[in-house]
């Protein structure tokens, strides 16, 4: 996977042309948050027996590759913490959307969850 990782890192450099080595200095932060959100979605889909979990699993793997390729060594722990916090936030939205007696609140949580995931998936190629 080393060659794939380098290719993705090169794409990140092209896609985010600022900062050192051409990558936006904090793009790893975005990838960490998205990895966490996609993890929560995948687990929720498993819980609900949603066949879309296979697609989400592949998207999460791609996001993890981006995260690993762009995270500076000194930022590994903060990135992991951010990833966990984003996962928890997404899980709360999904729980609120799925197991809620207030239909308006459930609808808001679903729209918010979908918007967060769409923003993350939009960062992936293909």
Please write the tens of the pLDDT for every residue from 4-31. 555 555 455 444 444 344 455 689 999 9
Quickly tell me which residue has 């090169």 as its tokens.
Answer: 10
Name the token pair of 18: 């600022």
Instruction: Look at the chain and report how many structural domains it folds into.
Output: 1
Name the token pair of 28: 């790893």
Model pTM above 0.85: no
| Cα–Cα distance for residue pair 120/96, rounded to 1 Å | 20
Asked, for residue 49, whether it belongs to a domain, the answer is: yes
**76 is in which domain, residue-wise?**
2-121
Asked, for residue 126, whether it belongs to a domain, the answer is: no
| Cα–Cα distance for residue pair 26/9, rounded to 1 Å | 14
Task: Quick: pLDDT tens for 44-81.
Answer: 999 999 999 999 999 999 999 999 999 999 999 999 99
Asked, for residue 89, whether it belongs to a domain, the answer is: yes
Quickly tell me which residue has 């903060």 as its tokens.
Answer: 78
């Amino acid at each position: 996977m080393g060659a794939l990782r380098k290719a993705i890192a090169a794409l990140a450099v092209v896609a985010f042309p600022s900062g050192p080595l051409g990558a936006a200095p904090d793009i790893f932060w975005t990838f960490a948050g998205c990895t966490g959100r996609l993890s929560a979605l995948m687990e929720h889909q498993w819980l609900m027996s949603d066949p879309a979990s296979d697609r989400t699993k592949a998207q999460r793997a791609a996001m993890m590759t981006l995260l690993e390729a762009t995270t500076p060594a000194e930022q590994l722990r903060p990135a992991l913490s951010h990833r966990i916090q984003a996962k928890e936030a997404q899980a709360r939205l999904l729980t609120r959307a799925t197991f809620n007696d207030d239909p308006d609140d459930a609808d808001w949580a679903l729209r918010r969850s979908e918007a967060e995931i769409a923003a993350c998936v939009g960062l992936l190629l293909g």
